[in-house]
Structure 1
């Protein structure tokens, strides 16, 4: 992977951590404010419960005073009844006594209701006081935790800011401006490529673009979302190993009408894949970049068998690979080999190298079944 791509990935990680820490630092006071609001609500409940108790006490005193006044009136009326001269006067006083007694009964009922309610009011006050005490302790605990967490986050934030500056210093100015512009528009500036698509915008990539990203040798930008693309080999799902015995690699036939060659150092092109195909008395030669699958130069056509008309391709070190795609299919590739073909040739080269390495190892000595006599 290019050093700039590595710095960009590190920069994106730093930007994400910085954003997370800033959000966390900003959220802590909000959390404390939420608990303080709950505390204020509990205080209001307690104040209302206390006010209700006081109102009930005032009502109780008022009813008791009224009852006392009514009893004094009854006593007065009864004293007057002893001095009356006529039945009408007596009945009138008796009516006043009865009326006062009914009022006393009504006020006593209200007093009884207040006494019953007083128990509930007392429970409400005690519950509110208990809740207020617990919430006050909780808010102090939250404030302490928030202060500690904020201090820790601010320390980490300073460290990540320092890292961020060091990562930015290792990125070209034009590329950095592009990254900053995309981050401003889309939050993230890079996107992983997986399953032949940009994971951020989910748009499928052209084979050439996908191969360029996989090679990690250049900066590639998504045509759709403008994010900088990268490939993580660890994200690839490994091919399932066969459960049965491992089959040996099929060796390419030297007289096959098609040959694929791997050359580790081909002129100025470095690692290449060479396709040679004989069809109808004519042979074609195609040259592909080993890492990207991009075609190098034009297709060469010569009359005769490829081994005779392209002898230079078989000079020097090369590895013969398994590949079977006809002329029409390869014409359909255009100037870029599809990923499935490139992966197949890479896998066959790896198998050929493993087979060669196994052959070069000396056989391990096995203990004799019957030791030689001394």
Structure 2
């Protein structure tokens, strides 16, 4: 019998997509990752995740299972779990209860990444430079809280949900230059996220970068993307179209001066958050060129249109190889095979060779 791998994801059709479900993977991404997993010569068990009972039942019906490739953010039966962080934690706890190794972050790391105020708290303790920030338990503000935020942060401010991902609640209105704009943004978030926490931070108007860290025993930094400075806010709508503008992105090698600085920060973040397998983080500079970490994603998108895909393609790494590398990182030697080993070795070779990087 071939070794079995769970492929755990969230998918809904375009017709059924709502704001709550924007964390779900596209059909194209699901099919690409499924094909990549099948290329590793495992028996793949697809799990479009609706609830904990479904996951438990599938696990019990298919034991023994070598590992799980997890991109699910929560449970489709409870859409709020897809963006408030609770679902990503619950999925991992179920897998741990069955002693199934899984890809991507641990519950502890996911909890920190899915709660941006906690992300900042952990990073601050790790010595990572972050913006000044102020958190509120809900968008239902009190005047004294606005007074305190203004005294702590000052204008311009950047306002966003403390939880969630996929740029939910992040748009041009997030930049607030006065109290009137601040109140307008809080009212918008109240309608959008209800009683979820809100984060206010210093608005940084400088260069913006995204970078990923890959691997466990010897984590490596992938090529760094610098985005063009033609938009102030990378909202969901902006990110959805960025793949069409890749020619305008700058790729920065970790061997350059700026790249080395960013790479060192990224590894510091990875260690501070106890990252596993892969994380992706965003950074921005202030008017003086100082670099700040502004977000960390414990389950970065593996869409063929996403940033990680662009990073690995610049090194000549295919998505099939990346998936094989990540599977190799979690399974024991008995569950490994030639396909997995070949993918792992190819990624290691390409990621360590600076001559593979084509700098734009």
TM-score by length of 1: 0.22
Higher relative contact order (CA 8 A, sep 6+): 2
- Which is higher, the Rg of structure 1 or of structure 2? 1
Greater share of residues in strand:
2
